[in-house]
Chains A and B, each alone.
Chain A
Amino acid sequence: MKKRIAGALVLAMAASMFTGAMIAQANEDISGEIEVGGWPSGDDAFKAAMEGFNEAYPNIEVELNFTDTTAHHQALQTSLAAGSGAPDVAMVEGAYIAQYKNSPALTNLRDFGVDDYKDDFGEFKWNQAISDDGTRMVALPWDLGPTLFYYRADVFEEVGLPTAPAEVDELMSTWEGVLEVAEKVSIPGKRWFLPSAAYPYQWMFINRDYYDEDLNLRLERDGDLECLQACLDIRNNGWDMNVDMWSAEAYAAYANGSCVCVAAGSWFSGFLKTDIDPDGAGHWGATRLPGGLPDTNWGGSFLVIPEQSENKEAAWAFVSYMLATSKGQNDMFRAVDYFPAYEPAWDDAPELYTDLDPYFNPAQDPAPNAIATEIAANVPTVYNTIMDTTAEGYLYSSFNAGAEAGETPEQIRDRLAADIEAACAELKEQQIQTLKDAGVWEE
């Protein structure tokens, strides 16, 4: 075993020297056609960076195949299970990475010397892509999702609230402050503070650290009950729309100003600009999460190379160019606001991160991306499991069920724990099996 690892290391080093040389100038040796699959607006990002890629690798042709997020992951998963039909390079959303990190159906990027880039990526994101036994790394991080709190500055101004990020942050740093703002901006039946009152509680978990390494569900954390109480107050006062934040209904409300606040990863800036509120320059402001919640990360994607790909070399050339060069990352960042996980990109074009963003409200200083850069530095490393996405679904529905039943924060938390345990029973068995297979599980 040791020998094999050593062998792999030598190979990896050789490969990395090889790749290192490749980046420097146009590489005409690698050729062929690769298919890249994902969801919008990854395609816009790749198109924006394609020119640079074509210069670096003139003989690789890229075909983009994009569909919606759910359909993409499902198609990817079934074609990995079946052993054919997957693209050469596929996007994987942060929420799903735990399902894939141990997969033998994905190429171990260490064969291509991915470890050379270790220092260029933030630790918490890098570690998410490493298999449980620590031997393989099947995905390269694309972007981070430093979580920002977006608010309609025009509405804030209208009701006499401050609009500068620092002031909003200050005002809403306690739950009392949050409720005060909620009350001020809401008009019953017409305008609401949030899409759903369940979300402040969800923000506590949005880095998806539901389970510890012994797979114990750990929902209790500092200030969670106060947060839940604030959520209940928002609900009971009718200050939320009581709809899913991703629903078309909520999107329409963001655009027309009837839903005033929403939090998401900083990629949401891109959503706002191109899809949700394209005509809304000046509407929005962004700052840190309210209620004294810690800095956290929300999503962000990875790229993987399925083992079934017939042109892995070209696929890796694509992945490493797009995600591990400053030019690739910043070209994409400029186009779609996917915050680069590749840290050298931040210094390479500092203006992208610090310059004020004309889309946002004039009072928005520092720029959302400057705030995001600060947040990115504070995100803790967490342990992800395949249960995370299921658990996340229940944060929303169990809160609604508990609020509807008039429960106390403790009761809601207990209900949530019971719901998650029930829904994740089989997944947990499977996770244990995976850990056993990796040799890192002890009964």
Chain B
Amino acid sequence: MKAAAKKNRFLHALYEYRVAYAYIAPFFLLFAIFNLFPMVYGFFLSFFRWDGMSAMHFIGIENYVNLLKDVLFWKAFKNTLFMGIIAHIPILLGGLVLAYILNSKLVKGQNIFKTIYFMPMVTSSVAITIIFSNLFGYNYGLINWFLSLFGEAPINWLGGDGSLIRVAVIVMFAWKWIGWNMVIYLAGMQGISNDIYEAAEIDGANHVQIVFRILIPLLKPIILFTLIQSTIGMFNLFTEPFVLTGSSWTGGTNNGGLTLMIYLLNKAPQGGTAYGYASAVAYVITVFIVIISFVLNNTMTDKDPYEGKKKRRKSA
């Protein structure tokens, strides 16, 4: 009886709020069909050895074990993390500073600058990577030519011992994302009342203090939002390092530009046919992203209980 009553109540609620449920239904339906199902199936695959064509062989957690033992996987992990962390310095700080300058009414023509800084978001990565590989070219590159004007020997950015590939990737990553972050921060800053700046200036605070003491704390939820977004972007880093290293699955010399996504796609479906193994890699990467998002979320929202609550709602 109780169950029936519960069911009844459920149906009743469903009916009463049918409009709201109908409005949000498309997302959940499409997600279940096109994302959830493949993900569950991918999880299932990750326990098999399967080349995509012949018979599947159940091997338990062997894929996960092999993967965690693979030195290349950890190299890729380190590279991804390294590039991600370094690239976040310009895109976070640079984005903030640019947003602050454009918001401060110190300069005119904000709209022009905003538009120019945002333009890289609008480009196709295939084309832009080819341009960057020209800019960073060893024998004919624009950057090496610029260096030669100062009497420098050419630098083998994309070759050499492989470490400079990361510089090129970071430059591309920052180039693309700095404008995006700036716009988001600008949006946040315009929500902060001018009185706060004025009060701070009267108290004798300089710009650096205003940015670090006032703006960053107030913008925390927004910063968190951009951080999580660019973290996901960082774990998905593929086209840039791949094309810069001449479409090589090794990620260049010493695996310098090997990212997790190159590692994954090299196993399947682009480079190889290790479908089960690749599914396991995808799951481990997902776990990394969830952990990092969780840590970011917690370190940035634990101070003030009131603020914390407010922000958790938005960033979750």
A, B assembled together: yes
Q: Say yes or no: is B52 at the interface (Cβ < 8 Å to chain A).
A: yes
Q: Is the CB of B72 within 8 A of A423?
A: yes
Is A216 part of the contact surface with B, judged by Cβ < 8 Å? no
Pairwise interchain contact A249-B139, C-beta atoms closer than 8 A: yes
User: Would B253 and A77 count as touching, CB distance under 8 A?
Assistant: no
Answer whether A81 and B250 are a contact pair too, CB < 8 Å, given A423-B72, A425-B66.
no
The answer on a CB contact under 8 Å between A429 and B161 is no
Instruction: Please tell me if A104 contacts chain B, counting CB pairs below 8 Å.
Output: yes
**B159 interface contact, C-beta 8 A:** yes
Q: Decide if A390 touches B70 in the complex (CB within 8 Å).
A: no
Query: A102–B49 Cα gap in the complex (Å)?
Result: 15
Contact of B156 among A103, A242, A390 (CB under 8 A): A242
Q: Give every chain A residue within 8 A of B275 (Cβ-Cβ).
A: 81
B139 adjacent to A241 (CB under 8 Å): yes
A386 touches B273 (CB 8 A): yes
Taking the closest CB of chain B, its distance from the CB of A439, in whole angstroms, is: 13
A386 near B272: Cβ-Cβ < 8 Å: yes
How many Å lie between the Cα of A149 and that of B272 in the bound state? 30
By secondary structure, the A interface counts as helix
Is there a chain A Cβ closer than 8 Å to B180's Cβ?
Answer: no
The answer to whether A396 and B248 touch across the interface, beta carbons within 8 angstroms, is yes
Contacting pair A80 B52 (CB below 8 A): yes
Q: DSSP majority for the B interface?
A: loop
Chain B nearest Cβ from A415, distance in angstroms = 10
Task: Say yes or no: B161 contacts A405, CB within 8 Å.
Answer: yes
Given A243-B139, A394-B250, A422-B71, A429 and B49 contact (CB-CB distance below 8 Å): yes
Instruction: Say yes or no: is A378 at the interface (Cβ < 8 Å to chain B).
Output: no
| Contacts of A241-277 to chain B: CB distance below 8 A | 241-244, 246-247, 249, 252-253
Which residues of chain B in 140-165 are interfacial with respect to chain A, using CB atoms and an 8 Å cutoff?
140, 154, 156, 159-162
The interface on chain A, measured as residues whose beta carbon lies within 8 A of the other chain's beta carbons, has a size of 41
Q: A245 → chain B, closest Cβ, in Å?
A: 10
Enumerate chain A residues within 8 angstroms of B54, measured Cβ to Cβ: 102-104, 434, 437
User: Which of A104, A401, A434 has a CB less than 8 Å from the CB of B161?
Assistant: A401
Asked whether, in the complex, the Cβ of A244 is within 8 Å of the Cβ of B66, the reply is no
* Complex contact A70–B247 (CB within 8 A): yes
| A252 CA to B247 CA, complexed, in Å | 18
Instruction: Give the distance in Å from the alpha carbon of A241 to the alpha carbon of B154 in the complex.
Output: 12
* Minimal beta-carbon separation of A194 from chain B (angstroms): 13
Q: Which residues of B contact A237 (CB under 8 A)?
A: none
Report chain B residues within 8 Å CB of A397.
162, 248, 250, 252-255
Ranked nearest first, the 6 interchain pairs of A and B with the lowest CB-CB distance are A81-B52, A404-B161, A244-B246, A400-B253, A103-B53, A397-B250
Q: Which residues of A contact B (CB under 8 A)?
A: 70, 74, 77-78, 80-81, 99, 102-105, 189, 241-244, 246-247, 249, 252-253, 386, 390, 393-394, 396-397, 400-401, 404-405, 422-423, 425-427, 429-430, 433-434, 437
Identify 8 new A-B residue pairs, CB closer than 8 A, beyond the known A426-B70, A430-B273. Answer: A81-B52, A81-B275, A244-B248, A249-B137, A386-B272, A393-B250, A422-B72, A429-B66
Contacts A/B (CB < 8 Å), 22 sampled: A77-B269, A80-B52, A81-B53, A81-B275, A99-B273, A104-B54, A243-B139, A244-B248, A252-B140, A390-B272, A393-B249, A397-B255, A401-B254, A405-B161, A422-B71, A423-B250, A426-B66, A426-B267, A426-B274, A430-B51, A433-B49, A433-B57
Q: Which residues of B contact A (CB under 8 A)?
A: 49, 51-55, 57, 66, 70-72, 137-140, 154, 156, 159-162, 246-250, 252-255, 266-267, 269-275, 277
